[in-house]
Structure formats: C-alpha cells, structure tokens
Amino acid sequence: MSVSVAEMTEQDQLFEYTVRLGDNCVILGQRLAEWCGKSPVLEEELALMNVGLDLLGQARMLLDYAGKVEGAGRDEDKLAFFRDAQAWRNLLLVEQPNGDFAKTMSRQLFFDCFQFLQYQKLSNSADTKLAEIATKSLKEITYHVRHSSDWVIRLGDGTEESHQRMQKAVDELWGYTPEMFDMDAVDEAMLKSGVGVDLKEIEPAWKKMVEGVLSEATLNFPELTWQVRGSKEGKHTEHLGYLLAEMQFLPRAYPDANW
C-alpha cells in the first residue's frame, strides 16, 4: 500500500488485512508444491500435496474476497500473479526455502500452530466472510497441526541424525517467528472493529503449543538470539523474488491470455 495507515479507509484496511492472510497461504502452498516428486515416502507425498491443496483453497477464498473488498477489478489471479515482492504481505517464515524434510516440518509446525490459534479467533470475526473462511479452514488446519506435530516428534525422537537435523531446523527458523505476533496499525484498527485477531494475545498459547511438541520431541526450546521482521511493510528476504519469478512467469509473459 502506498498510502499511510492514517489515510487508509476501513475498506483499505480490510483489504490489507485479508491480503496478508491470503498471501501466507499462496506462498506456503507454492513451497509445498516444490516438494512434488521429492518426498521421503509415497504416503508423505500425498500428505504434503493435501496440505498444499488446503492452503491453495484458502488462498483462493481469501484473495478472491480481498479483490472484492478492494473493488478495483483485481481477482485472485491478478493479485497472485501481478504483484511484485514489495507488494506481498506473507510472513517471512513461509517464504523460507524448503531445506530438508526437517526444515519443512519445522516451518510447518510453527505456521500451523499460529494459523490454528489465529483462525480460532477469526472464526468469531465481525466480518462474516472472514469468519466463514476461518471456520471452514479450521478443520483443515487441525489436521495440519497434527501432521506437522507428529513429524517433528518422530524426527526429534527418532535417530541421532534425525534429532540433529530437527534441532537445527527449529533453531534456524526460530528468528522468523516473533514477526507472526506483530501488531501494526492495520491490525489494531481491525481488532478495534471486531474483525481482526489480537496476535499478541495468542502468542503465549502458541509458545505453549510449540513447546509441548518440542518437549515431546526431546528437542530444546530455542533461545531467541536473532529476529527479523518487516513483511507487513513489504520487506522480505531475497528468497521471495525467486519464488515469485517462477510462480508468475507464465501470466506475466503472456498478459493477454486467459488460462
């Protein structure tokens, strides 16, 4: 958004808020798509695609709604394929590369727990459309939490190699998690109008959920030695640009085409 929050209308704020929710799903869904054909076991290939499909489904509902709120004629695909990195509002965590299976599962655990808590609150949103999307998605997310928790526990408490990889993965991603709970002016305004979620409020519950899983996985709860943030203002890691270049190539190369 080029306008400052002070100048934003309620409609602008709702658009921004919805895009943030949608962008997380697009980018993480895209990352999971990169796993296609590479999974450690066939059953897991199906599970990863399942989670990816759920995320894409959520992304489509959210971006479709964001486009309607904006009222400028942008549909889900205009929003997904014709925005550059600085216009994306996904969390830094979800754009991080897949790495090994431990890193993917760690990223997934952190995000799934966050989504679960966020959507629980969002399902009571004063915005009926967002409440409806959150309620529908919550069933899927409940499964996602179980899936990623199970894997983190298995890998953490599996072999020595898997334990080391899992701990490394958790440590490497830890500094991207504080950003999830940042409240900026848009979040505050949305919270005030009963639409949005108090992210600060869900932070302790998130820590408790994650701590429970890590402890069962015999992993150390990491110390926060560094942290990065900025996605709400369109500041991203360098990884996002490459992800978008690949994802957006076709519609950008042939902008007049319908697919």
Partner 1 sequence: MTNPDTDIAKLEDDFQKKVDAEIRIEPKDWMPEGYRKTLIRQMSQHAHSEIVGMLPEGNWLTRAPSLKRKAVLMAKIQDEGGHGLYLYSATETLGISRDEMYEQLHSGKAKYSSIFNYPTLNWADIGAIGWLVDGAAITNQIALCRCSYGPYARAMVKICKEESFHQRQGYEIMMTMARGTKEQREMAQDALNRWWWPSLMMFGPHDKNSNHSNQNMAWKIKRSSNDELRQRFIDATVPQAEYLGLTIPDDKLAWNEETQSYDWGEIDWDEFKNVVAGNGLCNRERLQARKDAHEGGKWVRDAALAYAQKKRKREALKTAAA
Residues that bind partner 1 (CB under 8 A): 26, 29-30, 33-34, 36-46, 49-50, 52-53, 56-57, 59-60, 63, 76-77, 80-81, 101, 153-155, 157-159, 161-162, 165, 246-247, 249-251, 254, 256-259
| DSSP label of 169 | H
241-248: long-range contacts (C-beta < 8 A, 24 or more apart)? Answer: 241/85, 243/27, 243/30, 243/31, 243/95, 244/84, 244/85, 244/88, 247/30, 247/80, 247/81, 248/80, 248/81, 248/82
Instruction: CB nearer to partner 1: give 189 or 214.
Output: 214
Instruction: CB nearer to partner 1: give 6 or 257.
Output: 257
d(CA 60, CA 69): 14
Give least dist CB 259 to partner 1, A. 4
Give least dist CB 218 to partner 1, A. 10
Give least dist CB 69 to partner 1, A. 17
Contact 99, 169 (CB under 8 A): yes
Contact 156, 167 (CB under 8 A): yes
Instruction: CB nearer to partner 1: give 238 or 256.
Output: 256
Instruction: CB nearer to partner 1: give 103 or 186.
Output: 103
Give least dist CB 76 to partner 1, A. 5
d(CA 59, CA 72): 19
